[in-house]
């Protein structure tokens, strides 16, 4: 997750941890490109598994949530950008954006943040949907193909 | 007092009709305005601010649909919608 300071990355991460997901790092993430062309991420050794939550300060995640709430490293599958609403968001997901990290293309999802929106829920759905796409099931594209097929069959000829 | 709605009949001229991409463009354009905009075809009327709605109206290539806009900025909204139709949703 990326985003401007104060947009709610850490709070969203915390809510995801409470849902059973695990933290790799907060704020500073070290990455390298693997020989398989993937991006591997891990935390800075000194600060790892700590998070800063506004109003509370620094917390140690595994002490609060248990050892299952952290992992030492992970491969990067998707980047989620938390953004102020611009009105220019992707509405269908048919043409997803990507990001170049050390020559590796990573799917990048821009999520508009509004007060009252459950961002953890939405980030979770974004990540699950991305996983589904990687398994070959792209719901947005499949629906669009189905509609194009129907529309083309119903084409109205001139004259 | 309700304002008189602006109504136009517009022809779908792009290759594939109103599928996801044109629907998204329509929703983005309509979303910029405060007025109500509806798209109507064969007795089916949907909001121009709903992607899922627009994908159900069977906007076949070559077909004609009815667009109505009512509200303070209806004129500007209609102009932008018309431009999308006239430019084939910038496809083809």
3-state SS, chain A, equals CEECCCCCHHHHHHHHHHCCCCECCCCCEEEEECCCCCEEEEECCCCCCEEEECCCEEEEHHHHHCHHHECCEEECCCEEEEECCCCCCCCCCCCCEEEEECCEEEEEEEEECCCCCCHHHHHHHHHHHHHHHHCCCCHHHHHHHHHHHHHHHCCCCCC
More confident call, A87 vs A56: A56
The CA angle A129-A120-A84, to the nearest 5 degrees, is 95
- The pLDDT score that the predictor gives to residue B83 is 97
For the segment B39-47, the average pLDDT, to the nearest whole number, is: 94
Q: DSSP label at B89?
A: G
For the segment B30-57, the average pLDDT, to the nearest whole number, is: 94
3-state secondary structure of B6: strand
Contact between chains at B27 and A150 (C-beta distance less than 8 A): no
For the segment B23-42, the average pLDDT, to the nearest whole number, is: 95
Tell me, yes or no, if A116 comes closer than 8 A to chain B by beta carbon. Answer: no
Picking from B27, B55, B58, the nearest residue to A154 by CB comes out as B58
Between CA A119 and CA A37 the distance in angstroms is 30
Q: Tell me what the pLDDT averaged over chain B comes to.
A: 93
Shortest distance between the Cα of B79 and any Cα of chain A, in A, equals 19
Question: Do the beta carbons of residue A106 and residue A38 sit within 8 Å?
Answer: no
Report the percent of chain B where pLDDT is more than 70. Answer: 96
Between CA B3 and CA A97 the distance in angstroms is 41
Banded model confidence at residue B4, pLDDT cuts 50, 70, 90: confident
Between strands A79-83 and A39-43, the pairing is: unpaired
- The pLDDT score that the predictor gives to residue B1 is 45
Contact between chains at A150 and B28 (C-beta distance less than 8 A): no
Contact between chains at A91 and B21 (C-beta distance less than 8 A): no
- The pLDDT score that the predictor gives to residue B2 is 57
| Mutual angle of helices B20-31 and B74-86, in 10-degree steps | 160
Asked if the model's pLDDT at residue A106 lies above 90, the reply is: yes
Tell me, yes or no, if B22 comes closer than 8 A to chain A by beta carbon. Answer: no
Shortest distance between the Cα of A139 and any Cα of chain B, in A, equals 12
Give which of B11, B64, B92, B76 is closest to B37, Cα–Cα: B76
Between CA B51 and CA B23 the distance in angstroms is 6
- Supply the ipTM of this predicted assembly: 0.83
Q: Which residues of B touch A157 (CB under 8 A)?
A: 62
Picking from B20, B62, B63, the nearest residue to A140 by CB comes out as B20
């Amino acid at each position: 997750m990326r985003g401007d300071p104060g947009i709610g990355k850490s709070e969203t991460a915390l809510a995801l941890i409470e849902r059973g997901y695990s933290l790799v790092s907060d704020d500073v993430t070290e990455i390298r490109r693997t020989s398989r062309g993937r991006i591997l991420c891990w935390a800075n050794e000194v600060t790892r598994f700590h998070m800063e939550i506004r109003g509370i300060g620094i917390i140690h995640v595994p002490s609060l949530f248990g050892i299952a709430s952290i992992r030492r490293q992970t491969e990067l599958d998707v980047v989620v950008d938390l953004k102020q609403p611009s009105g220019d968001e992707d509405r269908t997901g048919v043409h997803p954006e990507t990001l170049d990290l050390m020559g590796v293309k990573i799917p990048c999802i821009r999520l508009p943040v509004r007060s009252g929106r459950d961002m953890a829920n939405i980030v979770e759905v974004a990540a699950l949907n991305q996983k589904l796409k990687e398994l070959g099931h792209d719901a947005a594209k499949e629906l669009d193909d189905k509609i194009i097929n129907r529309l083309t069959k119903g084409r109205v000829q001139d004259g | 007092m309700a304002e008189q709605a602006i109504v136009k009949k517009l022809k779908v001229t792009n290759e594939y009709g109103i599928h996801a991409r044109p629907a998204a463009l329509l929703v983005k354009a309509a979303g910029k305005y405060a007025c109500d905009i509806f798209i109507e075809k064969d007795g089916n009327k949907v909001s121009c601010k709903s992607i899922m709605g627009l994908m159900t109206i069977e906007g076949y290539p070559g077909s004609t649909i009815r667009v109505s806009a009512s509200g303070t900025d209806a004129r500007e909204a209609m102009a932008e919608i018309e431009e999308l139709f006239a430019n084939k949703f910038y496809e083809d």
